[in-house]
């Protein structure tokens, strides 16, 4: 299913299923085309609602998939899309990696910590032994200058990567993908917590938790001190704004582009 981009609180979310998302990413990888992708959950949507510069950048990405049931429900409620599943960042990443392994398309991983990257590479070597790993590089955990950004892009291009996975956390990773995608010339996927799941530093939630949109509660239980504000404050605000948009009392405009490239970018 591919019903195009839909307005959810002013953020453009693609009403697609996982199969379509994978095919679109693989098409860009095969043709070595710039292609910015984000798996956006409630936290990402609300971050974009509150920050116009982020919203304009997210709305320029080529593909923004509904990561989590609440975003899928929003598409169905507001636009009648009848999507029957969300597109989790971890599931999207694994599905893409399975196909890149089959087609011999090298992958590069940027972000998180060195030990997480090593764990990801070790897992992929077991699960997808034919997958070419072009390289990996941990986050700087600070703002990179324009020269440093250019150097990162050069290293990724020289690695021979045909697809890039970015795990910097939202919204840093969306800003990174937006700013770097043209200079990279390959699809770049902002998949956030998927790095921690793939590396085994976070436990995957059970299927029943995901089915009933309780992944936020699972994450909150694992990291209460870091995430309590995100979920206990943002979730009610998200539901309230959705109800207002559904009732026609909130008509969020869709803002796109018009932002200068950042001279400093969190990397």
pLDDT tens per residue, the chain (267 residues)? 899 999 999 999 999 999 999 999 999 999 999 999 999 999 999 999 999 999 999 999 999 999 989 999 999 999 999 999 999 999 999 999 999 999 999 999 999 999 999 999 999 999 999 999 999 999 998 988 889 999 999 999 999 999 999 999 999 999 999 999 999 999 999 997 889 889 988 777 777 767 766 776 767 677 777 777 777 788 899 999 999 999 999 999 998 877 777 777 888
Residue that has been written with the tokens 């950048």 in this structure? 57
Residue 160 sits in which domain range?
2-266
- The pTM of the whole model exceeds 0.85: yes
Q: Give the total number of structural domains in the chain.
A: 1
Distance CA 176, CA 266 (A): 7
Decide: 158 and 183 in contact? Cβ < 8 Å. Answer: no
Residue that has been written with the tokens 């929003």 in this structure? 74
Distance CA 92, CA 229 (A): 27
Distance CA 90, CA 109 (A): 14
Residue that has been written with the tokens 């893409």 in this structure? 96
């Amino acid at each position: 299913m591919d019903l195009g981009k839909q307005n959810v609180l002013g953020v453009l979310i693609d009403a697609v299923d996982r199969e379509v998302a994978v095919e679109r990413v693989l098409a860009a990888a095969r043709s070595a085309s710039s292609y910015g992708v984000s798996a956006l959950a409630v936290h990402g949507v609300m971050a974009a609602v509150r920050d116009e510069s982020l919203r304009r950048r997210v709305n320029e990405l080529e593909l923004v998939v509904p990561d989590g049931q609440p975003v899928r429900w929003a598409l169905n409620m507001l636009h009648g899309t009848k999507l029957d599943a969300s597109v989790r960042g971890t599931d999207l990443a694994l599905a893409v990696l399975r196909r890149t392994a089959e087609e011999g398309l090298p992958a590069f991983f940027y972000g998180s910590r060195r030990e997480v990257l090593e764990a990801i590479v070790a897992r992929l070597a077991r699960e997808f032994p034919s997958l070419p790993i072009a390289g990996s590089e941990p986050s700087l955990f600070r703002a990179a200058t324009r020269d440093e950004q250019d150097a990162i892009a050069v290293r990724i291009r020289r690695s021979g990567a045909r697809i890039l996975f970015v795990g910097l956390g939202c919204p840093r990773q969306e800003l990174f993908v937006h700013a770097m995608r043209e200079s990279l010339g390959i699809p770049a996927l902002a998949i956030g917590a998927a790095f921690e799941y793939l590396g085994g530093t976070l436990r995957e939630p059970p299927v029943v938790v995901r089915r009933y949109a309780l992944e936020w509660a699972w994450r909150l239980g694992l990291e209460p001190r870091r995430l309590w504000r995100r979920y206990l404050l943002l979730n009610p605000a998200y539901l309230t704004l959705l109800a207002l948009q559904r009732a026609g009392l909130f008509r969020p405009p869709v803002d796109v582009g018009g932002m200068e490239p950042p001279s400093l970018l969190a990397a």
